[in-house]
Amino acid sequence: MEKKEVFAEGLSWKKIFWIFIFGCIFGCVMEMILTYFHTHEIVSRKGVIYGPFNPVYGVGAAILTICLAKRKNILIIFLLSAILGGSFEFLCSYLQEKLFGTISWDYSNHQFNIQGRTCLLFMFYWGILGTLYIKFIYPLLSKLIEKIPIKIGNIITWIMLIFMIIDCIISIAASFRQEERKEGIPAENNIEKVIDEVYPDSRMNEIYENGKDA
């Protein structure tokens, strides 16, 4: 009997991409909810200008999936999730500070922290989150993705991929210009002038409410 073709079977790039999108949205919403319970204020936690996406969580979900989807031992999954999550969190904090001069979190007041970029407590949380994700969320999510009709799935995948690339490019360019404006560097070409007009500091600060100068 001929095997039925399914959309994004196994660990194909299309499935990883939709895992990334899921992680982007889930992370953004989760952080907003947690922040609300902590501060009783609704604070934007998205990482790009357009859409409820936080690519940090999207990339994190993709990395966990690629590295751990085929693992069976819960203890191994927990330990690797903690190490991967903490390492990725450290890297994101470092790159954000070096590239944009801002930070979105600081664990300096936590014990066993590493330069304030990650700490043992949050690595423990990453371990729990990664274990729950691999054991319960990913299997369900994988099945749902594979149920998408192939033709429709291919179309929306390419649309979303192009949208996310453009969104990330615009967001990075606008963030770079905001940092340059803080340093008193004027726009040098028409593109930078348009960025300054469309994405002034007031709009950028509203989008990235949680960003602080390093």
Which pLDDT tens digit goes with each residue over 120-133? 888 998 999 999 99
- Summarize pLDDT for 38-68 with one digit per residue, the tens: 788 887 788 899 999 999 889 999 999 999 9
The predicted pLDDT at position 32 comes to: 86
On whether residue 95 sits in a domain, the answer given is yes
Nearest to 73 by CA among 134, 153, 141: 134
On whether residue 107 sits in a domain, the answer given is yes
On whether residue 4 sits in a domain, the answer given is no
State the Cα–Cα distance between residues 48 and 173, nearest whole angstrom: 11
User: What is the SS3 assignment for 102?
Assistant: strand
The domain total for the chain is 1
On whether residue 2 sits in a domain, the answer given is no
State the Cα–Cα distance between residues 2 and 132, nearest whole angstrom: 35
* Contact criterion met (CB below 8 Å) for 46 and 54: yes
The predicted pLDDT at position 1 comes to: 53
On whether residue 46 sits in a domain, the answer given is yes
* Contact criterion met (CB below 8 Å) for 209 and 101: no
The predicted pLDDT at position 122 comes to: 87
On whether residue 6 sits in a domain, the answer given is no
* Contact criterion met (CB below 8 Å) for 56 and 47: yes
CA atoms within 13 A on the CB side of 212: 7
On whether residue 7 sits in a domain, the answer given is no
Taking 70 as the pLDDT cut, the residues of the chain under it are 1-3, 210-214
Interstrand relation of 113-114 and 102-103 (parallel, antiparallel or unpaired): unpaired
The predicted pLDDT at position 146 comes to: 96
State the Cα–Cα distance between residues 176 and 168, nearest whole angstrom: 12
Strand partners, 102: 213
Host domain of residue 91? 13-213
The predicted pLDDT at position 2 comes to: 58
